[in-house]
Structure 1
Amino acid sequence: MSEIFDVQRWKPAPFLPEKETRDGALIFVIAVLCFLACLTAMGVIAADRAAAGWTGQLTGEATVIVRPRGGETPDAAAARAAEALAGTAGVTEARALEPAKAYDLIRPWLGDVSDLEDLPVPRLVAVTLDGRHPATAAQLGAALTSQNIDATVDDHSIWIKDIRRAGGLVRGLGAGIFLLIAAAAGAVIAFATRAGLAARRDVVEVLHLAGAEDGFIARLFQVRFARVAGYAGLLGAIAAMAVGAGLRIAGGGEGLTPALPLAWSDLLAVVPCPLLAALVAATAAQLTAIGLIRTML
């Protein structure tokens, strides 16, 4: 008799159970996608920081190639150029580099030639520019011309443009990967929503006949898959954070590599992942459910 009046036994099952056997595969796929998205975010942030650092260094410096005139030694010409540039507005420091610096720059092209010092190699002058009001290449060239110095000013503008272009390419590539991952996650959720509706077609028809609106039924799928995706996003974010921390520890003070420094603050890029995963899943589930319900009824 007690079994007949057992409330739990006769309690109706929910339209969408909180857990299903198929959830494991769905959670795994979404977690992997979120893991890859988080790694991409950390990589883009590190690359953007590296590009900004390189650009800042090149923007604050200039290199002057000095060629001696007739009757003047290369060292004397470099010294005169450094003196002329040091007094120019927008220049913090100008110093003539040792001849070995110039030899080191051309040695990879000519090889280890024993008489390299006998070649007429121009001297170099390193110029440190004022961070607030840096001198332009035209101003540096005018200062050298006024002292009758034959020199060429390299303000690294070509390298700066290349670095900025590369940084923009990395950011664009990262955005493309994010959109691709979001589309893949949405497709997975849409497939799961279709499968769930197909398995409950009869129940959906009964609910509709009872007066349930399409939006109400769609919200059931929306809430369910948002929870699943949020949980999967949390797992993917934790895994990505663990990998990022491991790379940061393995890289020491340089982060990942000297060219791609990974800071501890970059790990915070994974924080929005669960929320974004739930948002994408909720949107995909709602749109798929509403569209499919209208075709079913």
Structure 2
Amino acid sequence: MTTHDIPPPPKGGAGALLPPDAGRDRPLFVVAAILVFLACIAALGARGAWQQAETWTSDLETSLTIQIRPVDERDIEADAQQAAEIISAIGGVDRAVARDRAYAEALVAPWLGEGNIPDDLPLPLLVDVRLESGAELAVSDLQTALDNAGLAASVDDHAQWAQAVRRAAGFARTLALALLTLLTGAAAAVVAFAARASLAARVDVIDALHLSGAEDRFIAALFQRRFFMLGLKSGTAGALIAVLVSVLVSSGGNSVDMAFFLPSWTMAPFELVMLGIAPLLAGATSALSARLAVATDLRGRW
């Protein structure tokens, strides 16, 4: 055989030596896209839960409620208005609003039913108090001021629930991080399995490259580049589906119970950056998993 009889090297570089196989790549593409989608949803949901918890905590720490109990031969609505005036005069209080009986009936209506509340049913009235930002008031001082005015009132400090909300938010964030770790591990395992299957399916090409003097790292790099592109494409698809689901949930409003645990799309910088790097992380995870799996198999083969 002369030099003119030797076929030219395949064009396309690594892609020609290790061409894509749609039959084998399609299931891996779908699985990887689903994993990326679930990871994005988990991250968006955790962020939404954390933000909502921060809002709740802020509201709890800057508000409290005063309950005015009904007393015979006293005008409870006048007592509620008097309590609001007393509390408003205390330093550190932004405003105090006395609620009427209709407001109290609306609160108990879900349990008693609309129209089932007798007019003579004694209901306590509420005074909503909003504190100034950074103000610290002793509940005992507020209670003393109300007692001195002869009012049958009790102060409910919402701040006592703030720590419980913080713990719940911390648990949600930890759970989301654990879920992201599990999804990343699952994606790496799937890609490693697919890379080994691809190596076994192209063993003739690998043997030819090895006999031609190709080093293991060169062969591993072929698989690395191929699976990086596959991970990049599947990551892009999964991130786009996550955006679509988030937009649909956000456009549905807040009428759904527990909607703050669902992903929402607000075009915040965090969301844009996270969904923007999701395909790159998917590609990098796929490339690293494929390279390590192929390199391990090649060391055992020769």
Per the TM superposition, whether the score is higher than 0.5 is: yes
Q: Is the 8 A contact 1:92 1:130 kept in 2?
A: yes
Distance (Å, rounded) in 2 between the aligned partners of 1:237 and 1:131:
39
Name the % identity.
38
Deviates more, 1:222-231 or 1:68-77: 68-77
Cα 1:146/1:222, change in 2 over 3 Å: farther
Q: Tell me which of 168, 171, 190 is aligned to 2:170.
A: 168
**May I ask how many residue pairs the two structures share in their alignment?**
290
Describe the SS at the equivalent of 1:133: coil
Distance (Å, rounded) in 1 between the aligned partners of 2:246 and 2:232:
21
Once the two structures are superposed, what CA deviation does each residue of 1:239-287 show, in whole Å capped at 9, x if it has no partner?
3223333444x43xx3785843823315524211111101211221232
Once the two structures are superposed, what CA deviation does each residue of 1:133-176 show, in whole Å capped at 9, x if it has no partner?
24343443343344444322112245544543443343233223
Matched, 1:74 2:79: no
Distance (Å, rounded) in 2 between the aligned partners of 1:111 and 1:247:
31
Q: Is the 8 A contact 1:44 1:174 kept in 2?
A: yes
Q: Is the 8 A contact 1:103 1:116 kept in 2?
A: no
Aligned to 2:295: 290
Distance (Å, rounded) in 2 between the aligned partners of 1:136 and 1:214:
72
Cα 1:117/1:283, change in 2 over 3 Å: same
Distance (Å, rounded) in 1 between the aligned partners of 2:285 and 2:254:
32
Cα 1:110/1:228, change in 2 over 3 Å: closer
Distance (Å, rounded) in 2 between the aligned partners of 1:139 and 1:219:
72
Describe the SS at the equivalent of 2:129: strand
Q: Tell me which of 278, 285, 288 is aligned to 1:280.
A: 285
Q: Give how far 1:41 is off.
A: 2.5
Q: Is the 8 A contact 1:46 1:263 kept in 2?
A: no
The correspondence of residues 49-64 of structure 1 with structure 2, limited to 5 A, is: 49-64=51-66
Cα 1:183/1:73, change in 2 over 3 Å: same
Once the two structures are superposed, what CA deviation does each residue of 1:16-52 show, in whole Å capped at 9, x if it has no partner?
4242232222222212222222233333333333333
Q: Give how far 1:213 is off.
A: 5.0
Q: Which amino acid aligns with 1:10?
A: P
Q: Give how far 1:188 is off.
A: 1.3
Aligned to 1:10: 8
Cα 1:89/1:83, change in 2 over 3 Å: same
Distance (Å, rounded) in 1 between the aligned partners of 2:224 and 2:81:
74
Once the two structures are superposed, what CA deviation does each residue of 1:191-224 show, in whole Å capped at 9, x if it has no partner?
1121233334566567667775544443332222
Deviates more, 1:67-76 or 1:277-286: 67-76
Describe the SS at the equivalent of 1:10: coil
Aligned to 1:123: 125
Q: Is the 8 A contact 1:94 1:126 kept in 2?
A: yes
Once the two structures are superposed, what CA deviation does each residue of 1:36-78 show, in whole Å capped at 9, x if it has no partner?
2223333333333333333333333211012366764323332
Cα 1:112/1:35, change in 2 over 3 Å: closer
Cα 1:104/1:159, change in 2 over 3 Å: farther
Length-normalised TM-score, structure 2: 0.79
Matched, 1:238 2:240: yes
Q: Tell me which of 195, 198, 205 is aligned to 1:193.
A: 195
Aligned to 1:153: 155
Distance (Å, rounded) in 2 between the aligned partners of 1:165 and 1:63:
23
Gaps of 5+ in 2: none
Q: Which amino acid aligns with 2:84?
A: A
The correspondence of residues 107-118 of structure 1 with structure 2, limited to 5 A, is: 107-111=109-113, 116-118=118-120
Q: Is the 8 A contact 1:229 1:274 kept in 2?
A: yes
Q: Give how far 1:182 is off.
A: 1.2
Cα 1:210/1:115, change in 2 over 3 Å: closer
Cα 1:292/1:139, change in 2 over 3 Å: farther
Matched, 1:94 2:99: no
Distance (Å, rounded) in 2 between the aligned partners of 1:109 and 1:227:
57
